[in-house]
Structure formats: C-alpha cells, structure tokens
C-alpha cells in the first residue's frame, strides 16, 4: 500500500505535535525543526502546524472531562472553588490573547527561523535547571511529596487556591512562548514553580490554560489564513489533528507520572542536547 507523501507528512507532524505539546520542550519549535529537517515547504505548512494543536488540546478535554464537568456544575451552583478555578484561568489567558493579536505578524515572521528555535531550546533548558536547582528548593514544603508526611501548603495545592496575582504572572509567563522554541507549557509550568506552586498542580494549570489559549490561536490562524488553506487542505489538517489528539492522550498521562518522580530536569537536558544538535546541523547546512 502506497501512502500519499502529503498524508505521510501530516501524520509525521501530527505525531510530533502530540508528543511535544504538553512537554516543556516546545511543540512549535519541534514542528519548525521537523519541517526544516525533512525539507518541507515552511510557508506551506506553517498554518497546519498551528491548527493541529487543536487536536492535542482536545486530549486534555477528554482526559480531564470530569474536572471540567465539576467546574461547570460548580459554576451553576456558584461554588467558590469553581469560581476561583475559572477566575484564575480567565485571568491567566488574557495576556497571551492580547499580545498574540497585537504581535501576530512579528510572531509569524519567527515561525520559519530554525536558529531562533535552537537557541531557545538551549537557553530554556538552562533556565529550567536553574529553577529546579535553586528556586524550587526555596519553597521547601510546598514541593515535597505528600507521601513523605510533610504535606503541601494548602494555598498552592489546587488550581483554585493559586492567588490572583500569581495567576496573572503565570499568564505573562505564557507570553514568552510567542518566541518559537521557548515552549508554552515550559513557560507556564516554570512560572508557576517559581511562585511556589506544586509540580503536579503547575502542570495541570498549564494543561487547562492551554485549552482556551490554543483554541483561540487555532481559530485565529484559520480565520486569518482562510484563503491559503488550499495549499494543504482541510483533509490533511484533519489527519494531523486526529493524530496529535491520539498521541497526546498517551503522552499527558506519562508526563504527569514522570514529573512526579523525576521533576523537570530530564526535559531540560533533552532541550539542551536537542538545541545544540540543531545548531550544529544548521551551521553545517549553512
């Protein structure tokens, strides 16, 4: 059975998106590098790379459907926990939506720059190591495993307990991901950790924050590039979206298990190795 090359490309990029969207390694950066490495036309696949993120986001809706339902029902009953949960997400998403709309042309100009991605991977990896090594220990009890008997500070244990000011700062941290290679999940998780939020809560806040952020980004790209979709087609976008959805379902569960045991340092080391390798390769091809 012969697979159409464009279909195979859509599947490959969908896998890359599903694997990397929620890891602190930059899904957009990996898609840009994959496009460059495999010799794809960057201008042709840019919109595809952004829109298929919708599939990975839907994986969060499926995996955490009970949380979303509990929040919705809590809002209808005007429960304080649900209202605070929603407030924190709503506040945190505003900076990225505002700056994304304001700077979208400059952001798009960077989407074909693989060198920016490579340097961002390296620098981001170093920053993660520094945060894990020097800042996280400052919070002591907040980051310890509850099984140790020390517990986790109540104000940082759940998303609804994150202070309003911290939610705002995490929202601004997310804006750093407008530079390709920085990683939206990495920026938000590291921002939360730097404020004393427990690892699992920081990761889940990043997951939930991705839903409104990436739905808005995908919808904006579809609208602004609606006249250029013919170069790829909705069919291939649909394939990439489905593949990214299925892969992300598996990756998110594994990611939460890994960070609970090993923290984020393994991802930082991967970023540095991948970034250096990309820089060497880009230098070689000139």
Q: What is the pLDDT of residues 28-41, one digit of tens each?
A: 889 888 888 877 76
- pLDDT at residue 201 in the model: 92
The model's pTM is: 0.86
Confidence tier at 155 by pLDDT (50, 70, 90): very low
| Mean pLDDT of the residues in the chain | 86
- Measured CA distances, 246 to 16, 173, 215 (Å): 12, 28, 17
**Could you read off the pLDDT of 43-62 as tens digits, one per residue?**
677 778 878 888 999 999 99
Over 50: is that where the pLDDT of 119 sits?
Answer: yes
- pLDDT at residue 228 in the model: 66
Please report, for the chain, how many H helices and E strands are present, in that order: 13, 0
Burial of 42 (0-12, 13-18, 19+ CB in 10 A): middle
- pLDDT at residue 156 in the model: 52
C-alpha 19/C-alpha 245 separation (Å) is 10
Tokens 């506040």, residue located: 91
Instruction: Provide mean pLDDT across the span 14-25.
Output: 93
Confidence tier at 150 by pLDDT (50, 70, 90): very low
DSSP H or E stretch at residue 199:
helix 199-224
Complete DSSP assignment for 236-278: HHHHHHHHHHHHHHHHHHHHHHHHHHHTTHHHHHHHHHHHHHH
- pLDDT at residue 278 in the model: 95
Confidence tier at 63 by pLDDT (50, 70, 90): very high
Q: Which of 4, 6, 3 is nearest to 234 (CA)?
A: 6
Q: Which of 227, 242, 237, 247 is nearest to 6 (CA)?
A: 237
**Could you read off the pLDDT of 168-211 as tens digits, one per residue?**
999 999 999 889 899 999 999 999 999 999 888 999 999 999 99
């Amino acid at each position: 059975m012969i697979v159409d090359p464009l279909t195979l490309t859509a599947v490959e990029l969908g896998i890359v998106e599903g694997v990397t969207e929620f890891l602190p390694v930059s899904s957009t950066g990996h898609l840009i590098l994959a496009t460059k490495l495999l010799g794809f036309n960057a201008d042709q696949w840019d919109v595809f790379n952004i829109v298929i993120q919708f599939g990975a986001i839907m994986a969060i809706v499926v995996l955490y459907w009970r949380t979303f339902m509990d929040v919705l029902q809590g809002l209808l009953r005007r429960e304080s926990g649900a209202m605070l949960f929603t407030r924190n997400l709503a506040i945190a998403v505003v900076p990225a939506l505002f700056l994304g709309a304001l700077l979208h042309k400059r952001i798009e100009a960077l989407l074909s720059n693989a060198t920016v991605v490579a340097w961002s991977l390296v620098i981001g990896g170093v920053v993660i190591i520094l945060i894990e090594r020097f800042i996280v220990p400052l919070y002591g009890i907040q980051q310890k495993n509850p099984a140790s008997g020390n517990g986790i500070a109540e104000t940082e244990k759940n998303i609804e307990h994150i202070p309003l000011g911290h939610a705002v700062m995490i929202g601004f941290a997310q804006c750093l991901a407008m530079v390709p290679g920085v990683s939206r999940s990495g920026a938000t998780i590291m921002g939360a950790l730097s404020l004393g939020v427990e690892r699992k809560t920081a990761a889940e806040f990043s997951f939930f924050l991705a839903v409104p952020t990436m739905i808005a980004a995908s919808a904006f790209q579809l609208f602004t590039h609606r006249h250029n979709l013919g170069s790829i087609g909705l069919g291939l976008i649909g394939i990439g979206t489905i593949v990214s959805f299925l892969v992300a379902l598996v990756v998110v569960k594994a990611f939460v298990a890994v960070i609970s045991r090993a923290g984020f340092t393994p991802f930082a080391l991967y970023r540095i190795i991948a970034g250096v390798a990309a820089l060497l390769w880009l230098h070689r091809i000139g």
